[in-house]
Structure 1
Amino acid sequence: MSLDFLVELGTEELPPKALPSLSQAFTQGITSGLTAQGLAFGEVTSLAAPRRLAVVIKGLDNATPKKTQQLWGPPAKIAFDDAGNPTKAALAFASKNGLQPSELTTANDGKVDKLVVDKTTGGEATESLLAGIVEASLAQLPIPKRMRWGASRTEFVRPVHWLVMLLGDQVVPGDVLGLSTGRETRGHRFHCNQTLSINSPAEYASTLEQGYVIADFGRRQAMIRSQVEAAAAAINGQAVIEDDLLDEVTALVEWPVALTGQFDQEFLEIPAEALISSMSEHQKYFHVVDGNGKLMANFITVANIESKDPQAVISGNEKVIRPRLADAAFFFETDKKQPFVSFRDRLKTIVFQAQLGSLYEKTERIGQLAAAIAGKIGADTSQAQRAGELSKCDLASEMVLEFDKMQGIAGKYYASAQGEPEPVANALAEHYLPKFAGDKLPESDIGLCVALADRLDTLVGIFGIGQQPTGSKDPFALRRASVAVLRLLIEKKLPLDLAELVNLAIAQYSSLPKADDLTERVLTYMLERLRAWYEDSGISAEVFLSVAAKQLTTPTDIDQRIHAVAAFTQLPEAQALAAANKRVSNILAKESARTAEVDNNLLSDDAEKTLAQAVANMQAEVTPLMAQGDYQQSLKQLAALRAPVDSFFDQVMVMTDDSQVRNNRLALLSQLRDLFLQVADISLLVPAKA
């Protein structure tokens, strides 16, 4: 027999950004607990709203499955004395299993007669286990800091007020977090500030909806999206709905009602990014753009009540946003009254890192390094240096001090307004890209140069003072900086040597305490990030290691080789050729005395003659392909060597007694291996255990 199960924990308003993860973890903890008890169940639904976490599980077994097992005791000759009376061993076995001595039986376990008891386990009522499972799940929730309230010693992320637990239409007895279970929930804090009785799990969502609570997070989110889009369309605009903001707003309201407000047109003279930041971060408003993507003087807020006077709610929100936008306007105008370059002097008092100097000194290094990189890719070196020197100026502006997400963007506006060349101004914003995994990259060459210079300067500086990441600690975000550099080089197809770039970055510092092996340490760290990057994209570690064996330091070249090897592994000949290369590698590792050239006069076996001719022909075919960097086609053509290689190993004895013939055959194998080594060491594609 199975029944539906409902648990709902009622709380004060939960942290909105954490609500989805708390809900998911709560559900996972409960289902894991049920599974551990061997209980079967059907569909699982997670529900979460600002003041509640809930889970509904259909078709939950009403008891744990029964299992019968034989428990063997001591041998019969030890369990009974000569008179047939039970010994201490028998009495202990009987007591352990809840039996009277007269109930003991014996059976043969295949070797000897022993005491035995058939014991049935399981069959426990599910309702007796549920409170413990729920409490265990709540204890494991990802809550960084728990709180206490009142005189209670109970701890949770927010004070808890009620607990609903139903199995079928019956309340599950128990206590969790100091609350006794029941069937009473609560409606909307304003629309229905009263208790509501839940008759069964199936009626949970509909009962709450009557109390002005949409318990389903996903449904509530879809309602908000639909309402916001409709509100924007009503004013001939389009709402910009960012996923993070949508999640947060969904976690803030139980009964969503989208309302449209407006602000003064004059505020549109402020950089749109500042307005958007103010509306989304501080007020949780969605901004609206016109058909050309230009910001409109409107916003859409999602209220948690269905007001009888919605205009009063709108007016209240308009009054709240106006001073925020006025602050942004004030900061913008104040900053514009002084030369943008004057902000740079303020960077002298802002420490980048105690041992590495100020932000001013960092921009000096960035400028020099950006110019050097620009020279390598054919970009304007003077503009690259200028952009590097100005890259952090806006960090000292009033705008960025108030709206930190405006860094770079504010600099772009200020530099442009004061006559800096457009490539320089654009680079001030672009050099922060990419900001996160999958983010867009700079579009301009100058932005690209400064982006590389900024991150390389940080990497070599922090490694140079011995503060590279350890474990989970990465205070200077060097992992992200490394991946950014690699993405910039690879995705922008810049054939630059990473070792050379690292050395250029080191050269910008007057001294670094640990500079002896600095280049090697930085390169090793960055290439490890490259390995993880490829693994995340589905390319195996063996493929990466086969290319890494060549110890290359040009990321674009590494990338081409890795994709070529990955494509090669899909060919039917790949496995056999990789195994053959491994075999060749092992043979050659043991034999150092061999000639470099193949003497055709020493070739006697048809199979070795065929292989020698195939290798010679292949050298002529793939050499121009290798020179062009067409590694994929090179490996595709080299796959044709499988048949002559297989025949060679089937028919030819390499380690013959004749030293001249042996060395000649080793030279042939060496040439074969070198053909593949021009791309990668494909012998590493064979698992280590092979």
Structure 2
Amino acid sequence: MAATTLLIELGVEELPPGAIDSLSDALADGIHRGLTEAEVDFGEIRAYATPRRLAVQVAELGDKQPDREIERRGPALAAAFKDGQPTKAAEGFARSCGVSVTELVHLETDKGTWLGYRERQQGETTTVLLPAIVDKAIAGLPVPKNMRWGASRVEFSRPVHWLVMLYGSDVVDAELLGLRSGRTTRGHRFHAPDPIELAHADDYLDVLEHAWVLADRNLRRERIREQVLAEAEVQEAKAVIDEELLGEVSGLVEWPVALAGSFDERFLEVPAECLISSMKANQKYFHLLDEKGRLKPLFITIANIDSHEPQRVVEGNEKVIRPRLADAAFFYDTDRKQPLAARIDGLASVVFQKQLGTLADKAHRSAAVAAFIAGRIGGNVAQARRAAELAKCDLVTEMVLEFPELQGIMGRYYATHDGEPAEVAQALEEQYLPRFAGDAIPQTPAGQALALADRLDTLTGIFGIGQRPSGTKDPFALRRAAIGVLNIMIKGELDLNLRELLELAAAQHRDLPYAENLVEEVLGYMLDRFRAWGQDEGIPAEVYLAVRARPVTKPLDFARRLRAVHAFTQREEAAALAAANKRVSNILAKQADEVSRQVDVSQLQEPAEQALYDAVSSSRGRVMPLFAEGRYHEALDILAGLRTPVDGFFDDVMVMAEKDTIRRNRLALLSDLQALFLEVADIALLQQ
């Protein structure tokens, strides 16, 4: 079959920049799915998008479906003929197929012989199939909010003005979104406003680039990056390229041109984070740093036009940013007129959650837990308590109300201005760490105590009112809170008992409707997060299950066990010892009475059981001190040496001996062996 390139382009009014990538990818996925279902051969599918267009290019698209052999099964042969003559069932089946009975065939199956019909169905041409495929793909787009335009009842994210559908050099006849397909596209709104006729689908990117449009999203993004870096070099500065901002700016332009502007140096008296937030959020500017990493009074904007008078464009941007930065300076000056502590009373009017009270209530609860944690980790109890009291005060400042992403950061600035201890000020920012996977954890004891206390308060409170997260809903980000607690304890090497902390956090709440079993429920939920945590470190689920089977409530200890057992599984002896432990577990589980671990040496009759007893006794003396210090890796290396005596025991010794005393003694020996491994994990579960 012949193959050529397909081009589909929807020309629209400016799309929301945050939706462009998802819409573009979804359109390509929909075309891919439709062609696959239609069984039409195709090559690479490329998605293109700008603020004014969504496009898909399909390489080496076949011109038709393959022919198919259709097989229909009719009545069983025994029911199709009687005395050599076709029955009504056979005749009816033949009529439904449009043939005579003589044209039917016999189909042999494992359930007998049936009357059947085979025909070759011609494949449909691709150009006939495409309108329905494209229509279905467009209908499946994740449009944030549909709108109508003019007198039409057609709906889409933005008004659609043109539709290109080219198969090679031929137009695919279709009517979609109220438009008849054609070969006419549009270039840049200002640089190339006239209609452009596309001769062939392969010409798309080149024709648009000559019309001042970079339709390739990745190329446009990288062009912006290169221009920003180059312009920063001209300014003898370092550009900070935020990837999220880069993507957003890429969704705002079709022909990017980087231009550098400046602002009044007096604004540098305002914290850099405030100025950066204002430039990014309001104007989509990239900020610049000097050689010491300090903010320079410069910015880079990306214009959507290659102006003959670029300085006028720069001056326009400078004029716009000036009042924005002035607002930030005003907020900063206004906020500092009263100390952060003066806002504590104001937290009583801000609801955290209607059943859990206000932010003032949360601060009070967190203060008690933070002080306790600080005492356990060698921190300053008073500073941790003070940090918790001030933790949410910056949420009611003008600056954070305008720029919520500055929460914690402004708390640090204002606390420092007020003369609060340096660690208290730092803790106000660190309370939100880690914010995402791989993020840093708090470095100060007060910051660690506050970050843990705040999350534990949220977890116990939300669980306590019965709003446990489901598979799809987690409005209070409890998964992230739980993983944050684990990461702080593990990376910070904090030897804290999670059950103890949850009991304390739960006790700070009053009248929780689901208080019964609350601590165990939250504890289980948090320890279950270790499955995903382990997977991120390349630790398989069976290792997690082996450790989870033990009553471990210290996250740092849990992580050490996970890593040690994972390393143990890489040893040659691991599989055999896991199988042996599985066998031991099965034997002991079948005993009606509890099995003692006291072995009577005088009852050891076989050399193999004596050898196992000696090996277990010797190993216990070496590993118990290691267990006490959490050195599980070294302990398991020692226990790996038990493979030979364990194998010898099961090869040569009958555990369930007829004599009761000998049988009980052998069971006690196995129980003693099992107990050694259970000090780390239930390695029998590694067999799963």
Report the TM-score range of the alignment, normalised by the length of the smaller protein: over 0.9
The secondary structure found in structure 1 opposite 2:516 is coil
The C-alpha deviation readout for 1:654-685, integer Å capped at 9, x for no partner, is: 11211111111111111111110010001111
Preserved contact between residue 595 and residue 671 of structure 2 (Cα < 8 Å): no
1:483 is matched with 483
Instruction: Give the CA deviation at 1:113.
Output: 7.6
CA distance in 1, matches of 2:333, 2:619: 69
- Say whether residues 1:624 and 2:625 are aligned partners: yes
The C-alpha deviation readout for 1:172-207, integer Å capped at 9, x for no partner, is: 222222322211111111111122112222111001
The secondary structure found in structure 2 opposite 1:329 is helix
Letter matched to residue 600 of structure 1: V
2:376 is matched with 376
The secondary structure found in structure 1 opposite 2:344 is helix
Distance 1:81 1:352, change over 3 A: closer
Distance 1:356 1:83, change over 3 A: closer
Instruction: Give the CA deviation at 1:538.
Output: 3.1
Letter matched to residue 104 of structure 1: E
> Higher mean Cα deviation, 618-627 or 302-311?
618-627
The C-alpha deviation readout for 1:582-622, integer Å capped at 9, x for no partner, is: 11101101112544322222222232222222212221222
Preserved contact between residue 104 and residue 115 of structure 1 (Cα < 8 Å): no
Preserved contact between residue 105 and residue 118 of structure 2 (Cα < 8 Å): no
Q: How does 1:458-477 map to 2 (within 5 A)?
A: 458-477=458-477
Preserved contact between residue 260 and residue 298 of structure 1 (Cα < 8 Å): yes
The C-alpha deviation readout for 1:284-341, integer Å capped at 9, x for no partner, is: 1100111111000011000111111111111111111110100111111111122232
CA distance in 2, matches of 1:115, 1:585: 58
CA distance in 1, matches of 2:466, 2:112: 68
1:596 is matched with 597
The C-alpha deviation readout for 1:434-476, integer Å capped at 9, x for no partner, is: 2223222212221111111111122222222323323433222
1:668 is matched with 669
Distance 1:507 1:594, change over 3 A: closer
2:178 is matched with 178
The secondary structure found in structure 2 opposite 1:260 is strand
Preserved contact between residue 593 and residue 663 of structure 1 (Cα < 8 Å): no
Instruction: Give the CA deviation at 1:81.
Output: 7.4
Q: How does 1:572-587 map to 2 (within 5 A)?
A: 572-587=572-587
Instruction: Give the CA deviation at 1:77.
Output: 7.2
1:150 is matched with 150
> Higher mean Cα deviation, 586-595 or 410-419?
586-595
* Unmatched segments (≥5 aa) in structure 2: none
> Higher mean Cα deviation, 66-75 or 13-22?
66-75
Preserved contact between residue 104 and residue 116 of structure 1 (Cα < 8 Å): no
1:43 is matched with 44
Preserved contact between residue 288 and residue 299 of structure 2 (Cα < 8 Å): yes
Could you say what the CA RMSD is over the residues aligned between the two structures, in angstroms?
A: 2.1
1:165 is matched with 165
Q: How does 1:38-117 map to 2 (within 5 A)?
A: 38-74=39-75, 88-99=88-99, 101=100, 104-107=103-106, 109=108, 115-117=115-117
The secondary structure found in structure 1 opposite 2:475 is coil
CA distance in 1, matches of 2:87, 2:614: 86
CA distance in 1, matches of 2:84, 2:566: 78
Preserved contact between residue 106 and residue 113 of structure 1 (Cα < 8 Å): no
Instruction: Give the CA deviation at 1:269.
Output: 0.4
The secondary structure found in structure 1 opposite 2:567 is helix
1:296 is matched with 296
2:453 is matched with 453
The C-alpha deviation readout for 1:25-73, integer Å capped at 9, x for no partner, is: 2112211221222222222211111111111121122222223254444
Distance 1:197 1:671, change over 3 A: same
2:417 is matched with 417
Q: How does 1:30-429 map to 2 (within 5 A)?
A: 30-74=31-75, 88-99=88-99, 101=100, 104-107=103-106, 109=108, 115-121=115-121, 123-429=123-429
The secondary structure found in structure 2 opposite 1:120 is strand
2:634 is matched with 633
CA distance in 1, matches of 2:406, 2:114: 80
Instruction: Give the CA deviation at 1:105.
Output: 4.3
With the length of structure 1 as denominator, give the TM-score of the two structures: 0.95
CA distance in 1, matches of 2:404, 2:25: 31
The C-alpha deviation readout for 1:401-426, integer Å capped at 9, x for no partner, is: 12212211112111111211111111
The C-alpha deviation readout for 1:213-260, integer Å capped at 9, x for no partner, is: 100000000100000011111110011001100000011100000011
- Say whether residues 1:606 and 2:601 are aligned partners: no
Preserved contact between residue 546 and residue 681 of structure 1 (Cα < 8 Å): yes
2:651 is matched with 650
CA distance in 2, matches of 1:8, 1:242: 30
Instruction: Give the CA deviation at 1:510.
Output: 4.9
> Higher mean Cα deviation, 187-196 or 146-155?
146-155
> Higher mean Cα deviation, 191-200 or 224-233?
191-200
CA distance in 1, matches of 2:228, 2:187: 24
Letter matched to residue 371 of structure 2: A
Letter matched to residue 319 of structure 1: K
CA distance in 1, matches of 2:112, 2:341: 95
CA distance in 1, matches of 2:39, 2:571: 45
> Higher mean Cα deviation, 12-21 or 35-44?
35-44
The secondary structure found in structure 1 opposite 2:476 is coil
Preserved contact between residue 76 and residue 106 of structure 1 (Cα < 8 Å): no
CA distance in 2, matches of 1:437, 1:77: 67
CA distance in 2, matches of 1:451, 1:28: 42
> Higher mean Cα deviation, 332-341 or 108-117?
108-117
The secondary structure found in structure 1 opposite 2:575 is helix
Distance 1:78 1:143, change over 3 A: same
The C-alpha deviation readout for 1:616-667, integer Å capped at 9, x for no partner, is: 2221222222122111121122122222222222222111211111111111
Preserved contact between residue 288 and residue 295 of structure 1 (Cα < 8 Å): yes
Instruction: Give the CA deviation at 1:361.
Output: 2.4
Distance 1:309 1:675, change over 3 A: same
Instruction: Give the CA deviation at 1:502.
Output: 1.2
> Higher mean Cα deviation, 111-120 or 262-271?
111-120
The secondary structure found in structure 2 opposite 1:588 is helix
Instruction: Give the CA deviation at 1:262.
Output: 0.5
- Say whether residues 1:541 and 2:541 are aligned partners: yes
CA distance in 2, matches of 1:94, 1:476: 64
Percent identity of paired positions between Structure 1 and Structure 2: 53
CA distance in 1, matches of 2:586, 2:423: 55
The secondary structure found in structure 2 opposite 1:608 is helix
Distance 1:594 1:287, change over 3 A: closer
Preserved contact between residue 73 and residue 114 of structure 1 (Cα < 8 Å): yes
The secondary structure found in structure 2 opposite 1:60 is strand
Distance 1:317 1:615, change over 3 A: same
Distance 1:119 1:372, change over 3 A: same
Letter matched to residue 573 of structure 2: E
> Higher mean Cα deviation, 621-630 or 205-214?
621-630
* Unmatched segments (≥5 aa) in structure 1: none
